[in-house]
A and B are shown apart, each in its own frame.
Chain A
Amino acid sequence: MNKTDALIIGAGPTGLFTAHQLKLIGLDCEIVDNLDKIGGQCIELYPDKPIYDIPAVPECTGEELTNNLINQIKPFDIKFHLSERVDEVKKEGDNWIVKTNNGKTFSTPNVIIAGGVGSFEPRKFPVKECEKFENKSVLYSIKDKSIFKDKTVTIFGGGDSALDWAVELSKNSQVNLVHRRDDFRGAQATVDKVNELAKDGKINLFTKYQISSVKGEYKLESLDIKNDDKEIKTLKTDYALGFFGLIMQLGPIANWGLNIDKKTIEVDTEKFETNQKGIYAVGDICSYPGKLKLILSGFHEGALAARACFKLARPNEKYRFEFTTSSKTIKDRLGVKSD
């Protein structure tokens, strides 16, 4: 059981700055995120796209913003729990007991949800029957590539994940690569490699095709692919791999007894607290009259939620507002010399 003053759900810009604010006022915190990396939407959806409305930063990319925020919290020792999705939040006495999908548990008086639009999950095949084979012969990520040895693998997608795996698995497996159009959006070098392997018969390439059905009793046996002219091809296959990127799902948050409307959580604008005492929501996932889904709003919301956490984490102490420019205590926490 991990004990902490505040648990932050979501390692996007809002979660990172909220952690900074908590540590600055002397509280400890830990951060959980379902992605395997820090940065949230900034790193997953637009790492290379420029952002122009961060105060005092005329222009930066999603990746640069993330790196700057990571630098800003470097003085503090903050524990990250990546690739962990929070599944359960339950009250026990004065604390919230938080459980992740991998069995980690936390006990904390404060839970700050900085979850954006929810957790990122792989996009799945549109064919419903695929669910039957999911995690067995229909996969959306690869943990152990040795299972594909000497098998037939049908890969769907046109980005780097699909192409990289097609190249890699073609060494030891029979690979079909299916994509909805002739153009691939992966790196040019990989596209060239795939085309070369296709020419040599190492990869069977099917462009302008999409999945239309799957067949199999206990395990996947074959699947049908269809093109725009409704021509159908049947491919015998042991595995189907889909690489269509990630999508955000609100997921288990919906079950925590919070007031949710249109995938956002209602909060007050003093503490950014939800209808549950000690659970706060900040950033894109919160809603209140006048809410703007801007990164700068998330920073403000996180700063206020952090102060609210103080009361529950240190019930016998009084929070005193201090400036970073003048406070010796804050400078000590930051590890910088006082004048």
Chain B
Amino acid sequence: MAKITYITHDNHNHTIEVQNGLSVMEGAVQNDIPGIDADCGGGMACATCHVYVKDEWFDKIPAKEDGEEDMLDMAFEPKKNSRLSCQIIVSDELNGLTVHIPSKQG
């Protein structure tokens, strides 16, 4: 279990507890947090669950696998700290993780 904070583009904080094993995307979708579309359902095929990971967390979470960076090319306003939230799997170590949701997913 980890407490994850999602900050929407208009600065609303949503802190929720997400079960280990779920993705950060699933945590958002299951709790109706706005701004994460996840059109492909977690297949790393659409880049509509794009988030910005808070800098101090970026190096602590497992690195991107092949293909994620390619998908981020298509994301709306990608930055250095961009990730696809379907590829970040929740564990106890992620307790306190904060991600920012972009103003659009595409």
Contacts and interface: CB of A to CB of B under 8 A. Distances in A.
Interface string A150-193: 00000001110000000000000000000111010100000000
Contacts of B47: 245
A45 interface: yes
A257 interface: no
Interface in B36-88: 39-41, 43, 45-48, 69-70, 73-74, 76-80
B106 interface: yes
Given A126-B104, A185-B70, A185-B73, A248 B79 contact: no
Contacts of B76: 123, 126
Interface string A17-39: 00000000000000000000000
Contacts of B74: 123, 244-245, 247
Contacts of B79: 228
- Of B39, B43, B45, B105, chain A has the most CB atoms within 10 Å of the CB of B39
A96 to B, nearest CB: 27
A197 interface: no
A123 B69 contact: no
B45 A49 contact: yes
A300 interface: no
Nearest to A127: B77
Q: What class of interface size applies to chain B in its complex with A?
A: 20 to 34
B77 A247 contact: no
Contact of B43 (A45, A126, A181, A185): A45
Contacts of A179: 73
Nearest to B43: A46
Given A126-B77, A181-B69, A185-B73, A247 B46 contact: yes
Contacts of B45: 41, 45-46, 49
B73 A228 contact: no
A177 to B, nearest CB: 13
A46 B47 CA distance: 13
Nearest to A62: B45
B92 to A, nearest CB: 29
A117 B46 CA distance: 11
Contacts of B46: 45, 247-248
Is chain A's interface secondary structure helix, strand, loop, or mixed overall?
A: loop
Contact of B39 (A126, A183, A228, A248): A248
Is chain B's interface secondary structure helix, strand, loop, or mixed overall?
A: loop
A210 interface: yes
A123 B23 CA distance: 25
Nearest to B106: A247
Given A41-B40, A45-B46, A49-B45, A159 B77 contact: no
Interface in A222-245: 228, 244-245
A248 B106 CA distance: 9
Interface in B13-55: 39-41, 43, 45-48
A291 interface: no
A293 interface: yes
A157 B106 CA distance: 14
B39 A247 contact: yes
A108 B41 CA distance: 33
A247 B47 CA distance: 9
A244 B75 CA distance: 8
23 contacts: A45-B45, A45-B46, A46-B43, A49-B43, A49-B45, A123-B74, A123-B76, A126-B76, A126-B77, A158-B70, A180-B73, A180-B78, A181-B73, A210-B77, A228-B79, A244-B73, A244-B74, A247-B39, A247-B46, A247-B48, A247-B74, A247-B106, A293-B41
Rank and list the top 10 A-B pairs by shortest CB-CB distance, nearest first: A247-B106, A45-B45, A185-B70, A245-B74, A117-B39, A244-B74, A126-B77, A158-B73, A123-B106, A248-B39
Given A179-B73, A248-B39, 20 more contacts: A45-B40, A45-B43, A45-B45, A45-B46, A49-B43, A117-B39, A123-B74, A126-B77, A158-B73, A159-B73, A181-B73, A185-B73, A210-B78, A228-B79, A228-B80, A244-B74, A245-B73, A245-B74, A247-B46, A247-B106
